[in-house]
Amino acid sequence: MNISYSLRAESSVLAGGGWRLNGSHRNRGVVLCSSTAKPPVAQINKEKVNRIGALSQVSGVLGCQWGDEGKGKLVDILANHFDIVARCQGGANAGHTIYNAEGKKFALHLVPSGILNEDTMCVVGNGVVVHLPGIFKEIDGLEANGVSCKGRILISDRAHLLFDFHQVVDGLREVELAKSFIGTTKRGIGPCYSSKVIRNGIRVGDLRHMDTFPQKLDLLFADAAARFEGFKYTPDMLKEEVERYKRYAERLEPYITDTVHFINKSILQNKKILVEGGQATMLDIDFGTYPFVTSSSPSAGGICTGLGVAPRVLGDIVGVVKAYTTRVGSGPFPTEISGKGGDLLRFAGQEFGTTTGRPRRCGWLDIVALKYCCQINGFSSLNLTKLDVLSDLSEIELGVAYNYVDGTPIESFPGDLRVLEQSKVQYEKMPGWQTDISSVRNYSDLPKAARNYVERIEELVGVPIHYIGIGPGRDALIYK
């Protein structure tokens, strides 16, 4: 099934909005007017401490769209106020970009984004699928850049191992699907979760029993060879992989932990835990745009199953949403802007995948999808990111409702892709501000049109926006 969801023609606002594209605006490729106003540092710090200090003992940061919302930055900022940062699901398909105090960029995929805060313990929970070559490469890169990882990363003994052959199978599966391909990152995430669910997967704890490891790996290889003609399996492959994982097992041993016990013990010790979600709710295996979804549960329920904590211990969950919408890969995207308008937004926001480098599809903020995500996750607040990317627009649109072709309203985000295909988006136009806001640090100093945009989103979804991103750096955040 190859479905096209180009519901919106090229935007005249974006096409004629005066985007100025060059390389002098940091990580944006856009030059805007610069402000010389100096924010009152003491006031900003007080607002920051009050806002973050009010978060619950066990809090979470989850995506509200199709991923790539900027969760890593908020986790990095909040981590300084938490004892533990934990990943609960997904794998190396989750790319989180963060910057240290000197502005150096780090692209993380498996290591939790709290790693830059030296007093924070990082946990990779049982719900994550772990590619050992990948995580060791990340650790080596962090260490080479002066970030100490020793004794600071714990990996669940219940987490499943993702092997290189899972990545091969991922690619073969996409070829097999032909025109109905999912558009995965080809990092082997789906095949690894498939192994887990059909109960022939191999877990991190199995590396402690190398006497039985070869038989388990042989079963995985044989299963893949039986399923895919393009997967060639030989005894030499098994032998080489076993030898490689013997070396990995020795290196991994200090990291292996019963993280379920560790997390729950930490809760009893009144330690603060921040959960970092990968991907986002619209990619959830149950609640997303199935089958164009990920293979795990990046919504609130995934926190409990992916870390082994009871629902009653969960407190604040912050939803992260871009000021517009992006999506990578195939699948429905009702508010997508086609043509030059989408291209301009893509380059202004540097919308290229952290994991794959693929260009992201771009469109207006989808309020229907956002409200749906808020209902599922029970967000206590939102982090609106990349508001600065919209700064050069004379007019902005919000996708506030879906209607059937006959004009009948659709009450919520539908699970039926055919309904989505036949629906039309109702837009609400708002004036832009056409002023650089990247140096603004107080909410009241934002242009009135920018504040109206933020407050209209709050009004439509019924959840307060407490954090506003206006640039990639750690300090480029407004506390509202």
- 346-381 in b/e burial notation, b at 16+ Cβ within 10 A? bbbbbbebbbbeeebbbbbbbbbbbbbbbbbbebbb
Residue 125 DSSP symbol: -
Query: Would strands 465-469 and 477-479 be described as parallel, antiparallel, or unpaired?
Result: antiparallel
How far, in Å, CA of 285 to CA of 281, rounded? 9
**Residue recorded with tokens 């199953």:** 305
Indicate if 209 belongs to the active site.
no
Task: Give me the catalytic one of 25, 109, 160, 196.
Answer: 196
Phi, psi of 264 (to 5 degrees): -70, -35
Rounded Cα–Cα distance for residues 368 and 416 (Å): 15
* 360 has binding-site annotation: yes
Q: Look at the block and give the residue holding tokens 């935007």.
A: 11
User: Are 216 and 195 a contacting pair, CB within 8 Å?
Assistant: no
Question: Does 408 belong to an annotated binding site?
Answer: no
Sequence-distant (6+) residues with CB within 8 A of 166 are: 188, 189, 191, 192, 195
The answer to the question of whether 386 is labelled as a binding residue is: yes
Helix axis angle, 367-377 relative to 448-461, nearest 10°? 50
Q: Is 325 annotated as a binding residue?
A: no
d(CA 326, CA 183): 14
Q: Which one of 96, 186, 272, 480 is the catalytic residue?
A: 96
Give 122's DSSP letter.
E
CB 466 within 8 A of CB 383: yes
The whole-angstrom separation of Cα 179 and Cα 391 is: 37
Ligand-binding annotation for 72, yes or no, is yes
387 annotated ligand-binding residue: yes
Q: Is the alpha carbon torsion for 328, 438, 445, 15 positive or negative?
A: negative
Catalytic residue among 48, 68, 160, 480: 68
* 416 annotated to a ligand binding site: no
Do the annotations mark residue 70 as ligand-binding?
yes
81 is catalytic: no
Would you say 234 is a known binding-site residue?
A: no
Residues in a beta bridge with 121: 84
451 marked as part of a ligand binding site: no
Q: Is 68 annotated as a binding residue?
A: yes
Residue 399 annotated as part of some ligand binding site: no
Query: Is 116 annotated to bind ligand?
Result: no
Is 97 annotated in a binding site? The answer is yes
Q: Answer yes or no: is 125 a known binding residue.
A: no
CA distance 69 to 75: 12
Would the annotation count 378 as a binding residue? no
Binding site annotation covers 126? no
94 is in an annotated binding site: yes
91 annotated as a binding-site residue: no
Residue 271 annotated in active site: no
Looking at the annotation, which residues are catalytic?
A: 68, 96, 196
Residues at the binding site for Mg(2+) are 68, 95
Residues flagged as binding site: 67-73, 93-97, 185, 199, 279, 294, 354-360, 386-388, 469-471
Q: Which residues are annotated as a binding site for IMP?
A: 68-71, 93-96, 185, 199, 279, 294, 358
Binding site residue list for substrate: 354-360
